[in-house]
Structure 1
Amino acid sequence: MSRAFVKESDAVEELPEKLVSEHRNLVTPEGLAHIEAEVGRLQAELAEAQRSGDRDAIQRASRDFRYWNQRLGSAEVQNPPTGSSVVSFGSLVTLERDDGRVQKYRLVGEDESNPAKGKISYTSPLAQALMEKSVGDVVQAGTGEAEIVKIE
């Protein structure tokens, strides 16, 4: 049937697919648990949408499920480094900014990043500046500089 004969209220707008990063899907063990939880939540959401016949909810849940299922399939779990003297994926880095502020950031996977909670994606500019650096090194941090004072 032509879309011209579909009632406006019956039309379901096509949702664009969520973009999947071109970077490796490195995740911490906590990041993997988050992805697994999203897949489980979306399976339940999709099943409920199918039971209720809500086409918009089916489309939304299906799209999100495809994204998270793909992320689960490509996840590369990286255990946190122990006793490393250089910054790497999973490191908790303490920085002292040139204005005197002290900040801590853990380098994590893209899907688990949350800068407000001190978790930055390993693909972010700051994380890239920190990679392979040691205590005492100074890196560009936004418009200023920051010194690495501790690596855990």
Structure 2
Amino acid sequence: MSRAFTREEDSENAIAGVGERPVSQHRNLVTERGLAQIEENLADLRDILAKAERKADRERIAVVSRDLRYWTARRESAELSVPEPGSDVVRFGMGVTIESDDGKKVHWKIVGEDEADPTKGSISHVSPMAVALFGKKIGDLASVNGKEWEIVKLSES
């Protein structure tokens, strides 16, 4: 097929050797902070794109354009979800402290996929741990990968 019949967007991606960022098929639940992060990413990328266009940096334009498409899709599908105040069961957006049989305690905040960062104490709502915790109360057990964890505390953050 002639290059004349390819989309410009495809040509840009080929230049930089970048493919599209995969978009999750799960519901795009977000916390208020997660929604703000999406907006920040979009604003930053628009600024970066404008600078790349002024410099005619085709590789940078391709990469930033791809990221803009990703974050635009995530913004369009975002569903803000705020936990019900005083909820006594684990829900999206809540903090959960769990304890293993050996006394190890871990605290997780259950957030959207793009917002999750286990090194900072947040996990995605589609992670096995979050799925095992949803709907449970303090004192209930959640099993993940053959290990049981007791829910010892719930918090709104």
For 1:10-29, list aligned pairs within 5 A.
Answer: 12-29=15-32
SS at match of 2:47: helix
Q: CA RMSD in A?
A: 1.5
Structure 2: stretches of 5+ with no match in the other structure: 4-13
Residue 84 in structure 1 maps to residue 87 in structure 2: yes
Q: Is the contact between residue 28 and residue 80 of structure 1 (CA under 8 Å) also seen in structure 2?
A: no
* TM-score where L is the length of structure 2: 0.87
Tell me which stretches of 4 or more aligned residues in structure 1 moved more than 2 Å.
Answer: none
Aligned partner of 1:129 among 124, 129, 132: 132
1:143 Cα deviation from its structure 2 partner: 4.2
Tell me the amino acid that sits aligned with residue 90 of structure 1: G
The sequence identity of aligned pairs, in percent, is: 48
For the pair 1:44 / 2:47, whether they are aligned, the reply is: yes
| Equivalent residue, structure 2, for 1:7 | none
Asked if structure 2 preserves the Cα contact closer than 8 Å seen for 1:81 and 1:91, the reply is no
Tell me the TM-score normalized by structure 1: 0.90
- String of CA shifts for 1:33-88, please: whole Å, max 9, x gaps: 00000000000111111110111000000000000011111111112331111101
Cα distance per residue 1:76-112 (max 9 Å; x no partner): 1112331111101011101011221111111100000
Tell me if 1:99 matches 2:109.
no
Partner Cα distance (1:137, 1:106) in 2: 17
In the alignment of these two chains, the number of paired residues is 144
Q: Which letter maps to 2:101?
A: D
Name structure 1 gaps, 5 residues minimum: 3-10
DSSP-derived class of the 2:114 partner: helix
Does structure 2 conserve the Cα–Cα contact (< 8 Å) formed by 1:91 and 1:106?
yes
Cα distance in 1 for partners of 2:134, 2:120 equals 20
